[in-house]
Structure 1
């Protein structure tokens, strides 16, 4: 079976939800996946075209008054099979995080202690804001989407993000204390 890139698999997965248009897919990504998987707007439409050309989805075009036609994409059995095959394959590699704070800290002896502490304090503040955002998203899913079949899995990924963020906050506090 042909191997696709992660953007293709991501969009196939999104098509299992109620998101059918490029715009709806972008909104879904911005509300949920962007916290751990980034896809640019410019990747969505070429990928949707590929998915349709490969027979992984069908396209229904709807006319709209005063607006361009709206294309809606629906997963085909072949598309569902490709998605399922990818989901069931083992993970090829553990993801490597690119973190500018860690990179700057690695070379920290070449900057002032004061600046290093500012970087870490700023990072901790942003992490605390992210943790609050994740808590808000969790509340929204639990309140508004708990009946959806995907909700439990959304909460699993959100829990991962919360735990990583909490660990990073704790690391910031510890590192700031050690440097101080």
Structure 2
């Protein structure tokens, strides 16, 4: 079965937000989607070109003095229908997360508990940074009343990130505590 190219749909969706240039699309990805959906800069322009070739978007070339021409992309009616069709389809699978910390933790009986705890503390610190970033994004979204319909769904998506991040921080704390408790019971500090 052919794997669906979700980047195509991400770009179609982004074009509904008023981000119409490759640069603006990249900015939106970096500020929001990148927290849950990775799209490399190298995927944007080929995807836009394919959307135009498939009749899902149009491109308007705007000459600029002393700079390369600016290309602005707009959804066609067919593009809007394609996005709506995709949005109505059920998800095909629950994504599997690749998580280096969990991989290391799985094999941590082969390293010292101190090293394992250090990895968990570092991961918790990174999660705390993400949480703070999400809270800043939340402030930005709620301060722009012009996109009320979109903003509601952006907040729902962001809330998922906030809740899962808080749960992961709590898991780190509990796991660290469990390792420390086990060390205390066994009277050892390292393997």
Give TM-score, length-normalised by structure 2: 0.91
CA distance in 2, matches of 1:4, 1:159: 26
**Aligned-pair CA distance for 1:24:** 0.6
**Aligned-pair CA distance for 1:139:** 1.1
Q: Structure 1 residue 31 and structure 2 residue 31: aligned? A: yes
**Aligned-pair CA distance for 1:147:** 3.4
The runs of at least 4 aligned residues of structure 1 exceeding 4 Å deviation read none
Q: Structure 1 residue 118 and structure 2 residue 118: aligned? A: yes
Please report the RMSD computed on the Cα atoms of aligned residues, expressed in angstroms: 1.3
Which residue of 2 is the match for residue 51 of structure 1?
51
Which residue of 1 is the match for residue 145 of structure 2?
146
Any stretches of 5+ residues in structure 2 without a counterpart? 181-191
Q: Structure 1 residue 71 and structure 2 residue 71: aligned? A: yes
Which residue of 1 is the match for residue 22 of structure 2?
22
SS in 2 for 1:97: coil
Q: Structure 1 residue 179 and structure 2 residue 179: aligned? A: yes
SS in 1 for 2:63: strand
SS in 2 for 1:59: strand
C-alpha distance after superposition, 1:30-82 (max 9, x if no partner):
01000000100100000000000000011100000111111101100000011
C-alpha distance after superposition, 1:70-98 (max 9, x if no partner):
11011000000110000000100001111
**Aligned-pair CA distance for 1:141:** 0.9
Any stretches of 5+ residues in structure 1 without a counterpart? none
Q: Larger Rg: 1 or 2?
A: 2
Cα 1:35/1:168, change in 2 over 3 Å: same
**Aligned-pair CA distance for 1:136:** 1.1
Give TM-score, length-normalised by structure 1: 0.96
